[in-house]
Structure 1
């Protein structure tokens, strides 16, 4: 395990958990790769509170970050009128949380995107004066018009790569925060997809749905494509606290564009690569080639935090007693000058063939746990889709399996959300009954948070 440290970035470490033993003829190798960065910004994404939350006391006076806040100002934000007020207050709270020196802008989103502050295709630099000006500009925000989220994202992208962010270079943190309360009705799904494809890898974005009139798959799809978080704020009065925490997490990011590089020897095939904690995120299809038998999988921006990845490869058949390197996993970051990427840390995945049945059939506890967590996310989605389409038996079976998996893995948060959608008869066997009446907010919360996982209990 290698480490990399430099004074202005976190220190990264890579740990590999696996059972490397295979029976004769065995070919599938699974490993959980834990990546941890320390010495960066926030402590593991834990929100700062009280005095620590004031912008002047957040660490690192200088910044390498730019943030664009995108606020839904479509007509539906006026129902009820408190929703728009809560959105303005939440955006103001986020602006208060900006670290001095951070470049920022505010965009209002309807069927078109407009610059609210500072305007002129540029970003302002956060200090007491610009924060006050931005909050004054927010007061003029009103609701009216449609919803075309792709236009908001494209404007955010232009701002985050404008002349005013040139000093960030290629390694700076570029981040968006997007709030919507409705469905993306004024552009086609293809237009939104094209915007996401154009923005992917250029900035990260957290997305929030407020109320219950928005489409979960749209909001989670935006966050997934742009490697950010997604959540529901069912009660608009909770927006300010949520926006403050999102901005604190953004301010804690210290290094951008980190990639997981997977090198495999001749004859080894990659089955899949996915993030499995803190959320399940499929990365297999996002590979970009990085030289002979090597590919990069994007992980986004990092502060002080730890994440887990599940790597599954297929190795050539071999006989008892043989061993091989099945994959080398490296964490890399681009060189701002365009030279060779820097390796932050690396770990090895091995394969050893044995005739010891006990060794070759035992499943590594980390692999077993995250295989269950990935299945949990999948059966919740399938169960809710079945419920919406009127397939009662299918929904009951899938959500029952979800209850069983949540209980077995200790995923208490998901278990509580499931209990609002089904009556649990026996969690050990996954015996449940669908509730006759379910609050829309409860169903949407379960769907939005279905990919959140818990880590293996030590």
Structure 2
């Protein structure tokens, strides 16, 4: 039976903290939108430093034309020689269809040891690459091949490393459909080499499959090794975020905003029409920010009364989404004291707009639509200034003179359109650390006897029963 990436989640479970921030109270109408920021903090809490390599299955797929063989000639053997003992791996080369390069014969997977590392590195020297003739079917075919291979290796972490120069980019109308099949089955990192690839499908792969997309000018072998090392730092391969809705809530969506932007697909729970599960993957120790969006019908609800619109659950930790309806001509009452302020949702939305404007501006510049590029990059500069995000301004300064960042006034310079692809990848996939405003202790009182955190309305400790003062 096919098992997904949650099949072998290892104990012990990590320590989880969950916080919910709302941006004030909404105004009632038939399709009112309620937005909340979720901050999830995960601590190792005694888990081993590295995930055992035996729990990892990694495909290294080389989607590169023959003229770019030099870019992988030394990098791929070096990465294969650095594989940790007992990791399951397979290497795919290119042709009209993806071709298994190692292991050869009937076995689809090898388990790394000194023999297999040496043999794989040797065979990689004659890796089949795209040549003149029919072009491969495109990224959808690579994703489908990975999905089929990983179906037979149901380990905790299943991952695709795709190295591409864009030479198989035909037939990408199938990519969205294939990514829907792959979502939740494995994750993917994309490394782009050369200059002839389109950024959008690479960002689609990384976003939908919860990985990264980056341009690698040199150091490809180290990039592959670092990606595998990051997989081993995973404490929890899959950590679903569950949202139980009030019946009046008609729509729900959840997206990761930091450290990396990802769309999350919601799965309805069978027999629970108001409960949705949003799988997330590759949890290391640290924090993540999510934007939860609810669309609710306020027609039958009372005004100025606290209502619980959803319950968010991560493992055994729960937090309510509480708000009240207020009329437009009334001043909004204070927001529930569940977070650190009312600016968090606005900051998440502004950051998303900034990334989108930067990506759209660079894409327009690549397509020689300079008016659109100047408008979008100016908007990105203005938002970056307000958010104090310096790397975005640094990116803009490589293609434009920033005359007044706060006002969004820039003046484009002449640039090589072929050099913009790596910048577009960074705009869409570069990690952004969550803000440090919620890095402190969990809100609410703690038991004076055993130190267990308690909710704001608690009167007795849930662990030792002592009365809270």
- Output the TM-score relative to the length of structure 2: 0.79
Distance (whole Å) between structure 2 residues aligned to residue 382 and residue 439 of structure 1: 14
How is 1:105-184 mapped onto 2 (pairs within 5 angstroms)? 105-119=90-104, 120-141=106-127, 143-145=129-131, 146-147=135-136, 148-162=138-152, 165-166=153-154, 168=155, 172-184=156-168
Unaligned runs of 5+ in 1: 44-57, 332-342
Describe the shift of the 1:109–1:223 C-alpha distance in structure 2 as closer, same or farther (beyond 3 A). Answer: farther
The equivalent residue for 1:352 is 324
Larger mean CA deviation between 350-359 and 405-414 belongs to 350-359
Larger mean CA deviation between 258-267 and 361-370 belongs to 361-370
On the 8 A contact 1:153/1:195 being kept in 2, the answer is yes
The equivalent residue for 1:300 is 281
Larger mean CA deviation between 101-110 and 252-261 belongs to 252-261
The equivalent residue for 1:377 is 355
Select which of 71, 85, 88 maps to 1:83: 71
The Cα shift of 1:33 comes to: 0.6
On the 8 A contact 2:236/2:284 being kept in 1, the answer is yes
CA displacement 1:44-94 (0-9 Å, x = unmatched): xxxxxxxxxxxxxx735463221111112423424xxx3132xx42x3343
Q: Are residues 1:72 and 2:60 paired?
A: no
On the 8 A contact 1:109/1:152 being kept in 2, the answer is no
Unaligned runs of 5+ in 2: 1-8, 438-469
The equivalent residue for 1:39 is 44
Distance (whole Å) between structure 2 residues aligned to residue 241 and residue 247 of structure 1: 10
The equivalent residue for 1:53 is none
Distance (whole Å) between structure 1 residues aligned to residue 95 and residue 293 of structure 2: 43
Describe the shift of the 1:270–1:41 C-alpha distance in structure 2 as closer, same or farther (beyond 3 A). Answer: farther
RMSD: 2.9
Distance (whole Å) between structure 2 residues aligned to residue 203 and residue 245 of structure 1: 18
CA displacement 1:368-400 (0-9 Å, x = unmatched): 211111101221233234334443322211110
Q: Give secondary structure in 1 for the equivalent of 2:240.
A: strand
The equivalent residue for 2:342 is 364
The equivalent residue for 2:309 is 326
**Max radius of gyration: which structure?**
2
Q: Are residues 1:16 and 2:4 paired?
A: no
Distance (whole Å) between structure 1 residues aligned to residue 372 and residue 125 of structure 2: 49
Describe the shift of the 1:7–1:410 C-alpha distance in structure 2 as closer, same or farther (beyond 3 A). Answer: same
How is 1:332-347 mapped onto 2 (pairs within 5 angstroms)? 343-347=315-319
Q: Are residues 1:455 and 2:434 paired?
A: yes
The Cα shift of 1:438 comes to: 3.8
Distance (whole Å) between structure 2 residues aligned to residue 231 and residue 256 of structure 1: 22
Distance (whole Å) between structure 1 residues aligned to residue 107 and residue 46 of structure 2: 29
CA displacement 1:321-356 (0-9 Å, x = unmatched): 41111111223xxxxxxxxxxx35332211134655
The equivalent residue for 1:335 is none
Q: Are residues 1:252 and 2:233 paired?
A: yes
Q: Are residues 1:393 and 2:371 paired?
A: yes
On the 8 A contact 1:61/1:99 being kept in 2, the answer is no
On the 8 A contact 2:208/2:262 being kept in 1, the answer is no
Q: Are residues 1:444 and 2:430 paired?
A: no
The number of aligned residues is 411
Distance (whole Å) between structure 2 residues aligned to residue 299 and residue 60 of structure 1: 17
Q: Which aligned segments of 4 or more residues in structure 1 are displaced greater than 4 angstroms?
A: 22-27, 40-43, 353-356, 360-363
On the 8 A contact 1:109/1:149 being kept in 2, the answer is no
Describe the shift of the 1:111–1:24 C-alpha distance in structure 2 as closer, same or farther (beyond 3 A). Answer: closer
The equivalent residue for 2:462 is none
Distance (whole Å) between structure 1 residues aligned to residue 369 and residue 283 of structure 2: 41
